[in-house]
């Protein structure tokens, strides 16, 4: 069945009635193929209605009475559905969403962003072999020491553990990601995207083209900027402007 004609059973979860009414109106008017089969106003009722109605898509407010979106995901882990998060959160939460490639829209809801998120989720629903990115988001919050990163591919997504990344190399609009098992992943994302995402995960941008995992550093070679040798034997140039900051990380 094509994306255009597929009917997607959908549930809206938000503690604010006005927010649900606005979202319902926008979905019915601008998003073809969406069938709203139920609504919930808090965590317990959301868990119950998801279990009962088995939706394909849930619009999920992040903060609600008696819990939050992650409580819903934890208690609904046996159900397979895609999630579009609706949030007033800013940078911190958005970074979390980007880690797992989860779809989100900010309050107040923008129609263009809403339709874009819905179209992406329709495509994801058509590829049932793709990982459930909402579950990965929940796992990242519950097990931050084993944080996972979802990489977009031409056929869907690929999931890797952040701590298996040795280094990243940027080239134009693409980033090459080198892993501990010797594999290389090429992703259609600029290096700045990963710099923002990984800066508090033990990674550092040491050159305009390079980000390294500081846990994978074997030795530093002196020079104007010098260079770093990594655990896979690769050697990466250090920008002179980053030299002191890098050395300070090892003091």
Q: What is the 3-state secondary structure (H, E, C) of the chain?
A: CCCCCCCEEEEEECCCHHHHHHHHHHHHHHCCCEEEEEEECCHHHHHHHHHHHCCCEEEEECEECCEEHHHHHHHCCCCCCEEEEEECCCHHHHHHHHHHCCEEEECCCCHHHHHHHHHHHHHHHHCCCCCCHHHHHHHHHHCHHHCEEEEEECCEEEEEEHHHEEEEEEECCEEEEEECCCCEEEECCCHHHHHHHHCCCCEEEEECCEEEEHHHEEEEECCCCCEEEECCCCEEECCHHHHHHHHHCCC
Q: How confident is the model at residue 36 (pLDDT cuts 50, 70, 90)?
A: very high
Looking at residue 58, what is its pLDDT? 96
Domain extents for the chain? 8-141, 155-248
Looking at residue 242, what is its pLDDT? 96
pTM: 0.73
CATH superfamily of 155-248: LytTr DNA-binding domain (2.40.50.1020)
CATH topology for 8-141?
Rossmann fold (3.40.50)
Give yes or no on whether 8-141 and 155-248 have one common fold.
no
Q: In this predicted model, what pLDDT tens digit does every residue of 76-109 receive, in sequence order?
A: 888 889 899 998 876 656 777 888 878 889 889 9
Mean of the per-residue pLDDT values of the chain: 89
Looking at residue 191, what is its pLDDT? 96
Looking at residue 3, what is its pLDDT? 42
């Amino acid at each position: 069945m094509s994306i255009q004609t597929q009917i997607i059973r959908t549930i809206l979860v938000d503690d604010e009635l006005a927010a649900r009414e606005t979202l319902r109106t926008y979905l019915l008017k601008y998003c073809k193929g969406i069938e709203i089969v139920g609504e919930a106003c808090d965590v317990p009722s959301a868990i119950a209605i998801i279990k009962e109605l088995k939706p394909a898509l849930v619009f999920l407010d992040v903060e609600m009475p008696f819990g939050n979106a992650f409580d819903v995901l934890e208690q609904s882990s046996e159900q397979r559905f895609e999630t579009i998060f609706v949030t007033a959160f800013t940078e911190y939460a958005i970074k979390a969403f980007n880690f797992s490639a989860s779809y989100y829209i900010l309050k107040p809801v923008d129609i263009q962003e809403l339709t874009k998120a819905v179209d992406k989720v329709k495509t994801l629903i058509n590829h049932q072999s793709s990982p459930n990115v909402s579950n990965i988001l929940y796992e990242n919050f519950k097990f931050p020491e084993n944080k996972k990163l979802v990489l977009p591919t031409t056929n869907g997504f690929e999931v890797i553990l952040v701590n298996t990344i040795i280094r990243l190399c940027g080239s134009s609009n693409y980033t090459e990601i080198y892993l501990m098992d010797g594999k290389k992943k090429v992703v259609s994302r600029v290096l700045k995207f990963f710099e923002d995402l990984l800066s508090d995960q033990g990674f550092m941008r040491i050159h305009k083209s390079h980000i390294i995992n500081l846990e994978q550093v074997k030795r530093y070679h002196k020079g104007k900027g010098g260079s770093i040798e990594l655990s896979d034997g690769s050697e990466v140039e250090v920008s002179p402007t980053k030299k002191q900051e890098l050395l300070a990380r090892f003091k």
